[in-house]
Structure 1
Amino acid sequence: MSDGGPEESGGAVGLPSRRQRPATPMSQWDTRARLSYWAFHTDRRPSYMRFAYLQLGSDTDAENAVDATFDAIMNEWLRMLHMDRLEAYAWTVLKHRIVDQQGKRDRRPRPMDISAFEAALKDAAVDPYDVLTDSIQFYSAVSRLAERQRDAVLLRYGLHCTTGEAARVMGVEEATVRSHLTQARRRLTRLLGGEGGAP
């Protein structure tokens, strides 16, 4: 991996400046720091890849975004070990790398999940057009949620994480994820309900 640092960011967790700061090579880390980094990498990479794919619709783009995420995390790891909210910081890095990857391409991402539509095509009793229309409306509504609500919905329902797993990936309390989901359900009900799609 390269030692590229994260780009500048606003937000609660705050990312380091775009300016490159010299990173301590991993070969100079103590054993505990190396083991903790690789444990974090092993634990988070699968869920980061799945989330990135939902956003980008391409294995290659998802891998590029996640590799860039872990490059940035590795560059900051010794500092991150002293953070109170290390997981939340890493989640913010991932989100920024996904946005970076979206900006590098001209094509639009595919829908987050087309499995419902594919299943409908195999079921003669269901009109696939209706399912597709419902899916497009749902994804459009999800895209209008607040960022944390959208993250919680995608992790909980797109990736089928438990609320505890979603909380761990996002670096927040489980109660916070439940609150995001409750708020998201209310907003989705308004967006998809009888109010003509008005927020």
Structure 2
Amino acid sequence: MSGEGGVEESGGTIGVPRVVPIDQWPPAAQMAFWGFHQQHRQNYMRYAYLQLGSDADTEEAVDLTFDQVMDRWPWMLQMENLEGYAWTILKRRIIDMHRKRRRRPELMETAAFEAALAGHTDDPFATLADALALYAAVAALSERQRDAIVLHYGMGFTTAEAAVLMGNEEATVRSQLRTARQRLATLLKLRCPEHPDGKNPS
């Protein structure tokens, strides 16, 4: 039975060919995989650490992500949105790690958001990082909106960089940021200036 985004919690996905060892792939596929690994591993580690708060758990979750990506890589190369599929795998492995450690993911998400905002005093929401109301407001955002907020405002990615990591169009990330800011402003009863380009307020 498949999980969210077509990614099973264990085993393979229906319709995915059997696992082919990497040394049996065509050279171009091997180069593409290691290029993807080099491009995304550090950012995956940074994001996973915000969610898990442990070096060991972060490394395990990211290693499991790339193990699963490697198992499916020849098949994934045929996808239109390979990055989005890999991002879904990472999110599922983070959830698995929460379950393994018997943590409550929703509490870790608020802690991660607070950590992401720490030191960003130029943003109107940063000053609310220790307010309980912010936690409830962030929890009301969609998963993609939370990701966009943390990646852009918390981790300092441009909208283009966040889009690549999430497997979205840049315009989609900008829209998610606008909607998330408006939603937070409404829930927290703040005046939030419009930023149609998705950039930090000056």
Normalised by the size of structure 2, how large is the TM-score?
0.78
Report whether the alignment pairs 1:147 with 2:143: yes
Measured in 2, the distance between the counterparts of 1:115 and 1:60 equals: 19
1:8 counterpart (2, 9, 17): 2
Given the superposition, is the C-alpha separation of residues 118 and 85 from structure 1 closer, same or farther in structure 2, using an over 3 Å criterion? closer
Q: Deviations over 1:129-177 (max 9, x none)?
A: x96633x433442222101111101110111100000001001100000
Residue 84 of structure 1 is matched in structure 2 by 80
Give 3-state SS (helix, strand or coil) of 2:153's partner: helix
Question: 1:117 touches 1:131 (CA, 8 Å); kept in 2?
Answer: no
Measured in 2, the distance between the counterparts of 1:26 and 1:119 equals: 42
Q: Which runs of 5+ in 1 are unaligned?
A: 1-6, 121-129, 195-199
Q: Calculate the aligned-residue CA RMSD, in Å.
A: 2.5
Q: Deviations over 1:69-127 (max 9, x none)?
A: 0000000000001101101111111111110011111345482144766899xxxxxxx
Normalised by the size of structure 1, how large is the TM-score?
0.79
Residue 195 of structure 2 is matched in structure 1 by none
Question: 2:65 touches 2:90 (CA, 8 Å); kept in 1?
Answer: yes
Give 3-state SS (helix, strand or coil) of 1:111's partner: helix
Residue 188 of structure 1 is matched in structure 2 by 184
Given the superposition, is the C-alpha separation of residues 75 and 186 from structure 1 closer, same or farther in structure 2, using an over 3 Å criterion? same
Given the superposition, is the C-alpha separation of residues 106 and 40 from structure 1 closer, same or farther in structure 2, using an over 3 Å criterion? same
Report whether the alignment pairs 1:44 with 2:36: no
Give 1:58 deviation, angstroms: 1.3
Alignment: residue pair count: 176
Measured in 1, the distance between the counterparts of 2:166 and 2:95 equals: 17
Q: Which runs of 5+ in 2 are unaligned?
A: 122-126, 191-202
Measured in 2, the distance between the counterparts of 1:156 and 1:142 equals: 15
1:171 counterpart (151, 167, 170): 167
Matches within 5 A, 1:49-198: 49-107=45-103, 109=108, 111-112=111-112, 113-114=114-115, 133-134=130-131, 136-193=132-189
Given the superposition, is the C-alpha separation of residues 73 and 186 from structure 1 closer, same or farther in structure 2, using an over 3 Å criterion? same
Residue 193 of structure 2 is matched in structure 1 by none
Measured in 2, the distance between the counterparts of 1:82 and 1:118 equals: 41
Identity, % of aligned positions: 47
Question: 1:87 touches 1:171 (CA, 8 Å); kept in 2?
Answer: yes
